[in-house]
Structure 1
Amino acid sequence: MAIDINPFENPYVSASDTVYPDTYFLEHRRAPGTFTSATSPAVRAFTDQGFTWGGTWAQPDLQHFQLPRQVP
């Protein structure tokens, strides 16, 4: 199970450093609604509940939170 939150302000960054959907994030990194650090309260609200955050990946996906897959 996964959720993407506010992709306009919390983008995916490709291996070539292309920011998707656009460069808004580069100009507004500290704007309200952005997830900029694994220790930020907004990110911790999810990670404290067992979600992993895509912002820590080699190719950051700042909008992405996911729960570990449950194997029945």
Structure 2
Amino acid sequence: MIPASFEYRAPKSLEETLDLLHQHPGEARVLAGGQSLIPLMKLRFAQPKMLVDLQHVPGLSYLREEEGFLKVGA
């Protein structure tokens, strides 16, 4: 099935990301990989009006070891 139409935004900063989420409360969903959200959208169980992709936001996408733990960012 094809998802309902939505606006796609790819902010380049944390400030821009927070502004988008603040300006579109209840309408915007964060896209951080999409393994869970995209299948739900295809089945129309989730129909956000806007997707805010975190891929290009510095500091939100990482995989690193700290103090013996693996930390995973969005």
More strand by share: 2
Could you say which structure has the larger radius of gyration?
2
- For the criterion TM > 0.5, the same-fold answer is no
Q: TM-score w.r.t. structure 2 length? A: 0.28
Q: TM-score w.r.t. structure 1 length? A: 0.28
